[in-house]
């Protein structure tokens, strides 16, 4: 099969690769669409590059069941499916408590095993057994369904932050995931303040329903948030970027009793300072959210299928496997919101 194969840091090549086969309890999916995530770009540039190379990245996968291994009940070849990308044991402390994304044995597509920037992908039994293969209704497009994975990560943050109607939510970073936080916070009935340094991103945020946009290259975010919230600070602050310094500066945007979420994955070795007195007397809740559970994935999928959260406007660029290297350049330069590889 043809695949975008990662050989090392910033070294990705479109080439022939062995077509996977389904072992017992496994399935092979013929990929129809594969979303390009900031995580893929980060890994490609060396942050968290797997030890075992070559590999295939891509964890936002939808397609058609192509081959079923022995003992894979409930599916037929030709079924249209969306895939939760994490293989989980189902038995450890975290899995038993519904926090599968923290599974002690976890691995997943583009992270331990080959992912979705290829014509076919093999799904291990752990993904199938966790309910991670979701059948798609006939009228749902592959493009939309491919956004279930990123949307599920936003759902995880929404839950961790207990966003309620009437909350003021500040989203720091109006990139692809920031826009997903915007959409979900609006869906949850919140007022949303988006912050970014790129004008273009804020224009998009405005179009997607942001109540306030703050261009932090021009304005002081703290002053603006205090003005908008009449001096209290926001009930919820989500930092949707991986820059420790900005995360630290954003702490003061949250009100007493509020929730501060670290969503974007920062690089290693750059701690920030938090005043324990402030956390104590202000009863500040600091949350972290990473990936999502199979239940959150299904929830995201259902919201998309029902049209409750509109996601199609997040896709700005479409590629094929052959011109996928252009996609990577565009993503590195933050020139697109969401790119998708179509097959
Ligand atoms: Zn993703
Ligand atoms: Zn587990």
Dist. CA 325–CA 339, nearest whole Å: 12
At 98-142, the pLDDT tens digits run 999 999 999 999 999 999 999 999 999 999 999 999 999 999 999
- CA of residue 167 to ligand 2 center, whole Å: 34
DSSP 22-57: --TT-EEEEEEEEEE-HHHHHHHTTTT--SS-SB--
The residue among 204, 171, 206, 201 whose CA lies nearest residue 185 is 171
Q: Which ligand is nearest to the CA of 93?
A: 2
Helical segments of the chain, H only: 38-44, 93-96, 125-129, 142-145, 148-160, 176-187, 199-207, 221-228, 244-250, 276-282, 294-305, 324-332
| Inter-residue long-range contacts of 88-92, CB under 8 Å, 24+ positions, other chains counted | 88/126, 88/127, 88/130, 88/294, 89/126, 90/126, 90/129, 90/130
The pLDDT value recorded for residue 286 is 98
In the chain, what are the domains? 2-147+311-342 (3.90.180.10), 154-288 (3.40.50.720)
Residues near 82 by beta carbon (within 8 Å), at least 6 away in sequence: 61, 62, 133, 134, 136, 145, 146, 148, 149, 301
The pLDDT value recorded for residue 20 is 98
Q: Which helix H or strand E contains 239, and what residues bound it?
A: strand 234-239
What mean pLDDT comes out for the span 264-284?
A: 96
User: Given a cut of 90, is residue 21 above it in pLDDT?
Assistant: yes
Residue 51: pLDDT band with limits 50, 70, 90: confident
User: Given a cut of 90, is residue 38 above it in pLDDT?
Assistant: no
Residues that place a CB less than 5 A from ion ligand 2: 88-89, 92, 95, 103
The pLDDT value recorded for residue 253 is 98
Q: Which ligand is nearest to the CA of 129?
A: 2
User: Given a cut of 90, is residue 332 above it in pLDDT?
Assistant: no
The pLDDT value recorded for residue 66 is 98
Q: How many percent of the chain have pLDDT more than 70?
A: 100
| Inter-residue long-range contacts of 223-226, CB under 8 Å, 24+ positions, other chains counted | 224/193, 225/170, 225/193, 225/253
Q: Which helix H or strand E contains 120, and what residues bound it?
A: strand 120-123
- CA of residue 201 to ligand 2 center, whole Å: 38
- CA of residue 87 to ligand 2 center, whole Å: 9
Instruction: Indicate the SS3 state at residue 343.
Output: coil
Q: Which helix H or strand E contains 12, and what residues bound it?
A: strand 11-16
Please tell me the number of Cα atoms within 13 Å of 185 on its side-chain side: 30
Residue 335: pLDDT band with limits 50, 70, 90: confident
Residues near 211 by beta carbon (within 8 Å), at least 6 away in sequence: 191, 192, 193
The pLDDT value recorded for residue 334 is 81
Q: Which ligand is nearest to the CA of 40?
A: 1
User: Given a cut of 90, is residue 154 above it in pLDDT?
Assistant: yes
User: Given a cut of 90, is residue 164 above it in pLDDT?
Assistant: yes
Whether 256 and 187 have beta carbons less than 8 Å apart is answered as no
What mean pLDDT comes out for the span 29-53?
A: 91
Q: Which ligand is nearest to the CA of 148?
A: 1
The pLDDT value recorded for residue 50 is 87
The helices-and-strands tally (H runs, E runs) of the chain is: 12, 18
The pLDDT value recorded for residue 47 is 85
The pLDDT value recorded for residue 39 is 87
What mean pLDDT comes out for the span 80-97?
A: 98
Looking at every residue in the chain, the average pLDDT score rounds to: 96
- CA of residue 45 to ligand 1 center, whole Å: 16
CA dihedral of 170, 37, 61, 8, whole degrees rounded to 10 = -150
The pLDDT value recorded for residue 95 is 98
The residue among 309, 320, 311 whose CA lies nearest residue 338 is 311
269: left (phi over 0), alpha (psi -120 to 50) or beta: left
At 302-312, the pLDDT tens digits run 999 999 999 99
What mean pLDDT comes out for the span 63-86?
A: 97
Residue 163: pLDDT band with limits 50, 70, 90: very high
Residue 46: pLDDT band with limits 50, 70, 90: confident
Residue 12: pLDDT band with limits 50, 70, 90: very high
């Amino acid at each position: 099969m043809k695949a975008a194969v990662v050989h090392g840091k910033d070294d990705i090549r479109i080439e022939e690769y062995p077509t996977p086969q389904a072992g017992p309890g496994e399935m092979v999916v013929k990929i129809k669409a594969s979303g390009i995530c900031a995580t893929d770009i980060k890994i490609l540039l060396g942050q968290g590059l797997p030890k075992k190379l070559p590999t295939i990245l891509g964890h936002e996968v939808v397609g058609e069941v192509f081959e079923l291994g022995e003992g894979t009940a409930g599916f037929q070849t030709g079924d249209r499916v969306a895939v939760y990308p994490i293989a989980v044991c189902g038995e450890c402390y975290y899995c038993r408590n519904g926090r599968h994304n923290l599974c002690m044995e976890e691995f997943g597509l583009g992270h331990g095993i080959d992912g979705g920037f290829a014509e076919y992908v093999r799904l291990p039994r752990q993904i199938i057994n966790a309910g991670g293969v979701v059948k798609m209704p006939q009228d749902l497009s592959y493009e939309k369904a491919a956004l279930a994975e990123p949307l599920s990560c936003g759902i995880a943050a929404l839950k961790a932050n207990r966003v309620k109607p009437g909350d003021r939510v500040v989203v720091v970073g109006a990139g692809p995931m920031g826009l997903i936080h915007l959409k979900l916070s609006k869906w949850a009935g919140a007022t949303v303040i988006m912050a970014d340094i790129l004008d273009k991103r804020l224009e998009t945020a405005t179009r997607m329903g942001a109540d306030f946009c703050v261009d932090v290259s021009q304005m002081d975010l703290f002053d603006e948030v205090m003005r908008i919230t009449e001096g209290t600070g926001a009930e919820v602050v989500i930092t949707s970027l991986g820059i420790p310094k900005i995360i630290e500066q954003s702490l003061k945007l949250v009100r007493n009793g509020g929730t501060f979420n670290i969503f974007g994955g920062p690089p290693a070795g750059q701690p920030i300072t938090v005043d324990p007195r402030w956390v104590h007397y202000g009863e500040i809740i600091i949350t972290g959210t990473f990936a999502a559970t199979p239940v959150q994935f299904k929830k995201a999928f259902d919201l998309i299928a029902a049209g409750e959260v509109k996601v199609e406007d997040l896709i700005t660029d479409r590629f094929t496997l052959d011109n996928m290297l252009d996609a990577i350049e565009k993503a590195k330069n933050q020139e697109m919101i969401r790119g998708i590889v179509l097959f």
